[in-house]
Amino acid sequence: MKRTLVPSPFLASALALATTFLCCVSPMAARAQGESPASDATGPVRIKDLVEMRGVRSNPLVGIGLVVGLAGTGDSKSSLATNKAVANLLTRLGSKVAPGDVPTRNVAVVAVSAELPPFARVGDRLDIRLSSVGDASSLEGGTLMLTPLTAADSRVYAVAQGAISQGTSMAGASGGGGQQSAQGGAPKTIALAKSAHVEREFAQSFLSAGNLELSLRNADFTTASRIAKVINETFGAFLADPVNAGLIKVRVPSDARGASYPAVSFVASLEQLKVEPDTRALVVINERTGTLIAGAQIVLAPVAISHGGLEIVIDGAPTRLSKLPRAATVGDLVRALGALGAGPKDLVAILQTLEAAKALKAELRIL
C-alpha cells in the first residue's frame, strides 16, 4: 500500500485544506469561466485575426539626422561623426566650414526610425522615433533637421523634421510629462507624433495572379484546414487550398474582379468569417516575475511529486490525503502548490521535472 509522507502536522493540515479546496472549487471555477472541463476550445475567431495577407505589410524606414538647438546637452567635441555631420549640413546650406571648427555641444546625431504602413499615400504623416547615437546627455528642447528616411532598397520614402518639446520623452525612460526617472539621467530616445511625411509610395498588391495568399500567424495544420473549409463552404466553391500548415491560397472568384463586386469587398467578407483555431498545449513561465500562463485543460499524468518538504500525489485513489483527481490540470497543481507555500522557483523545478518524466502533456517554455 502506497503512502504519502507528510513532514509536519502543519503541512498535513495544509495538504488536507488544499485537497478539499481543489475538489470543491476547481469544477466551480471552470463553470464560472464558461469552460467545459472536457474541451480546450477557445471559441470562434475571425480569419482576419488569425492570418497575415501577402502584400499587406508595413516597411521599416531609417535615417541619420541632426538635432540642433540643444542647451549644451549635445554630443561632445570628441564625437567625430557629429563634427562631420554638422560640417556637411552647413556646407550643403552654403556655409563651408571644416569639421574641427564646429562647436557640437548644442547638436546631437540621432538615428531616426519609422514604419511605413501598407498602402500609405504621398503626403500621409508618420510617427517617428529618435535615438541618440553619440554621447549627448539629453535631446529635449531641440529641433530635428530635415532627415530623409530610406527603406531596405536605399530609396527615400519619407522625410522627417520636427521640434522636440519637453513633453515628448518616452514614458518608459523618464515618466510622463518629461520628468526625469527615479534612476536619473535624461531620456536618450524620443517619440514624435506625425513628424514625417511620405514622399514615395510602395507598390503593393494583395493579389497575385488572381489569388490571395494567407499566412497563419501561428502555423497549424488543423487551423489551416478549418479556415479553408469555412471559406469553401461559405462561398459555395473550391476557392481555398491549404498548401501547408502556414499558407492558404485563395482563388478570387471571377465575379469579384469587376466594378460591381470589387476584390476589396470579397476580402472584407472573407476576413469576417469565423473559425475555431486549434491550439498547442503550452506552458509558459516567467521565472523572474513568477508568472505562469497555461491552457485551461493541460492535464497531468498520474504521478507522485516530492519536492523538498512538499508532497502531492496525482491519481484516482479516493483515500489519498493530498490527492488531486486523475484528470488534474496544471492549474490544479499550481493552486495546490500555492496553498502549500511553494515559490516560483519551486514551481519551475517541479514543472521541468514533470516534463522530463513525460507526465506534463504540454511543451514547457521558460522565459
* Number of residues that make up the chain: 367
CB of 254 closer than 8 Å to CB of 24: no
User: Which residues of the chain fall short of a pLDDT of 50?
Assistant: 1-40, 171-184, 317-321
- Choose among 270, 199, 195: nearest CA to 237: 270
> What CA–CA distances, in Å, run from 150 to 57, 154, 158, 161, 191?
16, 5, 7, 14, 18
| Residue 177 identity (one-letter amino acid) | G
CB of 238 closer than 8 Å to CB of 232: yes
Work out the widest C-alpha separation in the chain, in whole angstroms: 95
For the chain, the C-alpha Rg in angstroms (whole number) is: 30
Direct distance between the N- and C-terminal alpha carbons of the chain, in angstroms, rounded to an integer: 40
> What CA–CA distances, in Å, run from 61 to 114, 193, 300?
5, 15, 48
Counting Cα atoms < 13 Å in the Cβ hemisphere of 183 gives 6
pLDDT reported for residue 339: 75
- Choose among 360, 326, 348, 347: nearest CA to 37: 326
pLDDT in tens, 262-299: 788 888 999 999 999 887 787 887 777 777 777 766 77
* All structural domains of the chain with their residue ranges: 9-40+281-366, 45-55+205-275, 59-198
pLDDT reported for residue 151: 93
3-state secondary structure at position 302: coil
pLDDT reported for residue 70: 87
Residue 98 neighbours by CB distance under 10 Å: 9
Q: How far apart are CA 240 and CA 231, in angstroms?
A: 6
Angle in degrees, CA 88, 94, 100, rounded to 5? 40
pLDDT reported for residue 254: 78
Chain-centre distance of CA 61, in angstroms? 20
Q: Could you tell me whether strands 107-116 and 211-216 are parallel, antiparallel, or unpaired per DSSP bridges?
A: unpaired
Q: How far apart are CA 139 and CA 164, in angstroms?
A: 7
CB of 103 closer than 8 Å to CB of 70: no
What are the grid coordinates assigned to 196, written together? 514625417
Q: How far apart are CA 322 and CA 361, in angstroms?
A: 21
Q: Could you tell me whether strands 303-307 and 310-314 are parallel, antiparallel, or unpaired per DSSP bridges?
A: antiparallel
Helix H or strand E segment including 193: strand 189-198
pLDDT reported for residue 30: 35
The residue assigned the cell 488534474 is 328
What is the sign of the dihedral through the CA atoms of 234, 235, 237 and 243?
A: negative
pLDDT reported for residue 187: 67
Q: What fold, for 45-55+205-275?
A: Aspartate Aminotransferase, domain 1 (3.90.1150)
Q: b/e map of 318-338 (b: 16 or more CB within 10 Å)?
A: eebebbbbeebbbbbbbbbbe
Within 8 A by CB and 6+ apart from 102, the residues are: 82, 83, 86, 87, 90
Q: How far apart are CA 183 and CA 350, in angstroms?
A: 37
pLDDT reported for residue 191: 87
Q: How far apart are CA 76 and CA 107, in angstroms?
A: 9
Q: How far apart are CA 63 and CA 69, in angstroms?
A: 20
Q: How far apart are CA 354 and CA 360, in angstroms?
A: 5
